[in-house]
C-alpha cells in the first residue's frame, strides 16, 4: 500500500510548508485507529487555510485516508485530548518524511512530557472531572440513575486520565490499561461500578462516597495551574480569566471549576458595586500566592 500511496505523499513532501508525514497501518480486522481503513496518512504542515483537511482514497480492495493538519491544530489536539488517536499515530506510526527532525523532536517531547504542559493538561482534566461529577450528583439526587451512571463513568475516565498525566504519561486510547498499572484504586472503582452485582443505585451511592474523597485529594494538583495563573495579579474579573491565553482551553468548564474552588476556599470573592442598585460584579482573588 505504501508503494501505491507514494506519489501522493511524495508530492506533499516536496512542499516547503510540509513538516512531516506519518503512515499508520490497520492493525486488526476492526481498527478504529484508522477508521477501519487499511492505511491512514498524517501530513503535518506549518500553516494552511484549513486547520484540518481529510481525503479518502481507494485502490483495488484497499482504502486509505490522508489527513492534513497544521502544527498548531496538532498541538491543540494533543493538549486537549480532542483527537486521542493522534498521540498513538505519532508514537507508533511509520515516519515517511521528517523535515529538520520535526517529528523526532515531537516524539521526544511526548515521551518527556514537559512539566508546564503536564500542569495545564491536569488542570483541564480536573475541570472536566468536576463538571461531570457535579452533574452526575444532580442526576443522582433527582433519581435519574442511568443519566447518573453515564456522567459518573465519564468522571472516572477524567480522573483516570488525570492520574496518568500526573505520573508523566500521555493518556492513551486504552487509558484503563494504563491506570490498572499506575493507580489500582481508581481502576478498582471503575470495575466495581461496571461489574458489581449490587443494585445500580447502591453502586452509585458507594462510588460518590469514594469519589468525594478522591476529588478532594486531587484538588491541590488539579487546581495548581489555574491558581498559578491567578497569582499573576491581585484580582480578576471572570472574562479576564476566560480570555487568558492559557485558561481559554478550559472553555465552558472554567466557570464550574471557579465555583468549586470558591467552595473549597482556594479562591475568594470580592464584590464591586455596578450601576444597578444591589447588583455587584464578582471579582476573584487568591488568599495566598502559588
pLDDT at 199 exceeding the cut of 80? yes
Q: What is the pLDDT of residue 170?
A: 83
Is residue 223 over pLDDT 90? yes
Indicate if the pLDDT at residue 171 is higher than 90. no
Euclidean distance between CA atoms 77 and 91, whole angstroms: 15
At residue 288, the pLDDT reads 67
- Bridge partners of 70, per DSSP, are 45
Strands ordered across the beta sheet of 94-98: 52-59, 62-70, 39-45, 18-25, 94-98
Total tally of structural domains belonging to the chain? 2
Q: Does residue 127 share a domain with residue 88? A: no
Check whether residue 168 and residue 97 sit in a common domain: no
Tell me the pLDDT tens digit for each residue of 102-118. Answer: 999 999 988 888 888 89
Residue 289 has pLDDT above 60, yes or no: no
Are both 45 and 62 inside the same structural domain?
Answer: yes
For residues 254 and 128, is the Cβ–Cβ distance under 8 A?
no
Percent of the chain with pLDDT over 70: 98
Q: Are residues 270 and 167 in the same domain?
A: yes
Residue in the block written with cell 512539566? 115
> Distance between alpha carbon 251 and the CA centroid of its chain, in Å?
12
Boundary of a domain, candidates 78, 112, 146:
112
Co-location of 50 and 163 in the same domain: no
Domain stops at, among 87, 112, 137: 112
| Domain of residue 13, CATH code | 3.30.460.10
User: Which residue range(s) make up the domain with 51?
Assistant: 2-112
Residues 71, 119, single domain; the answer is no
Using alpha carbons, select from 115, 204, 116, 127 the residue that is nearest to residue 159: 127
Answer with the one of 112, 147, 165 that is the final residue of a domain.
112
pLDDT band at 1 (very low <50, low <70, confident <90, very high): low
pLDDT score of 255 more than 90: yes
pLDDT tens profile 123-134: 999 999 999 999
What confidence category does residue 290 fall into, taking pLDDT thresholds of 50, 70 and 90? low
pLDDT digit string, tens, across residues 15-38: 999 999 999 988 777 777 788 888
Amino acid at each position: 500500500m505504501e508503494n501505491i500511496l507514494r506519489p501522493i505523499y511524495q508530492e506533499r513532501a516536496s512542499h516547503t510548508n510540509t513538516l512531516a508525514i506519518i503512515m499508520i497501518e490497520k492493525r486488526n480486522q476492526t481498527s478504529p485507529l484508522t477508521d477501519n481503513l487499511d492505511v491512514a496518512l498524517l501530513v503535518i504542515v506549518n500553516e494552511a487555510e484549513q486547520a484540518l483537511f481529510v481525503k479518502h482514497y481507494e485502490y483495488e480492495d484497499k482504502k486509505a485516508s490522508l489527513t492534513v493538519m497544521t502544527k498548531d491544530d496538532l498541538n491543540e489536539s494533543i493538549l486537549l485530548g480532542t483527537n486521542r488517536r493522534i498521540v498513538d499515530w505519532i508514537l507508533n506510526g511509520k515516519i515517511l518524511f521528517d523535515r529538520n527532525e520535526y517529528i523526532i523532536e515531537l516524539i521526544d517531547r511526548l515521551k518527556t512530557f514537559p512539566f508546564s504542559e503536564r500542569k495545564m493538561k491536569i488542570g483541564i482534566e480536573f475541570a472536566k472531572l468536576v463538571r461531570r461529577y457535579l452533574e452526575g450528583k444532580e442526576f443522582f439526587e433527582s433519581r435519574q440513575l442511568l443519566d447518573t451512571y453515564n456522567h459518573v463513568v465519564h468522571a472516572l475516565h477524567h480522573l483516570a486520565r488525570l492520574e496518568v498525566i500526573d505520573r508523566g504519561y500521555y493518556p492513551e486510547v486504552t487509558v484503563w490499561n494504563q491506570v490498572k498499572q499506575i493507580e489500582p484504586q481508581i481502576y478498582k472503582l471503575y470495575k466495581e461500578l461496571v461489574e458489581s452485582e449490587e443494585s445500580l443505585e447502591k453502586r452509585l451511592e458507594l462510588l460518590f462516597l469514594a469519589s468525594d474523597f478522591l476529588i478532594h485529594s486531587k484538588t491541590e494538583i488539579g487546581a495548581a495551574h489555574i491558581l498559578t495563573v491567578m497569582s499573576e495579579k491581585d484580582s480578576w474579573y471572570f472574562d479576564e480569566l476566560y480570555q487568558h491565553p492559557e485558561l481559554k482551553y478550559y472553555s465552558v468548564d472554567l466557570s464550574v471549576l471557579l465555583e468549586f474552588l470558591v467552595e473549597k476556599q482556594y479562591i475568594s470573592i470580592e464584590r464591586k458595586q455596578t450601576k444597578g442598585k444591589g447588583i455587584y460584579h464578582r471579582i476573584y482573588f487568591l488568599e495566598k500566592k502559588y
